């Protein structure tokens, strides 16, 4: 994937009990960014590179980063990830997942999918 984005992998972090996604930090012309892969679903997101211990994700779109050949993964756009939670269809979530959403109070779809509270 790094070659497809024109970048170089700087680090990789696996999902764990406190995070719902794997993260790879890449550098390419124009700066650093992260590719996030949901731990259970075939979903990807791009985000600004985080500092050590930073749990804030700033989702973004990057010109030249195209999901061609990333099957079965789907790259979500910054607009999709920024959809307010009150406009999202949560009908297929379990009672436990809905309880977590009520407890943690995420504001967007991206904060539900890529979170630090799983």
User: What pLDDT score was predicted for residue 63?
Assistant: 77
pLDDT over 60 (residue 4): no
The SS3 of residue 92 is coil
Contact (CB, 8 A) for 18 and 116:
yes
Q: How far is the CA of 9 from the CAs of 39, 54, 75, in angstroms? A: 19, 19, 18
The pLDDT tens digits for 24-59 are 999 988 789 999 999 999 999 999 999 888 889 999
Higher pLDDT, 74 or 5: 74
- Looking from the CA of 74 toward its CB, the CA atoms found within 13 Å total 10
User: What's the pLDDT score for residue 66?
Assistant: 66
- For residue 68, the model assigns a pLDDT of 65
* pLDDT reported for residue 118: 63
User: What's the mean per-residue pLDDT of the chain?
Assistant: 88
Q: What is the mean pLDDT of residues 74-101?
A: 94
- What was the pLDDT predicted at 67? 62
């Amino acid at each position: 994937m790094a070659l497809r984005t024109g970048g170089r992998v700087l680090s990789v972090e696996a999902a764990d009990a406190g995070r719902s996604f794997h993260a790879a930090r890449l550098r390419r012309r124009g700066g650093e960014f992260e590719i996030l892969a949901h731990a259970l679903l075939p979903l990807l997101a791009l985000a600004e590179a985080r500092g050590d211990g930073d749990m804030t994700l700033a989702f973004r779109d990057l010109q030249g980063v195209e999901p061609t050949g990333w099957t079965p993964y789907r790259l979500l756009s910054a607009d999709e990830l920024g959809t307010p939670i009150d406009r999202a269809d949560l009908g297929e979530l379990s009672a436990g997942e809905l309880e977590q959403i009520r407890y943690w109070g995420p504001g967007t779809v991206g904060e539900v999918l890529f979170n630090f509270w799983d």
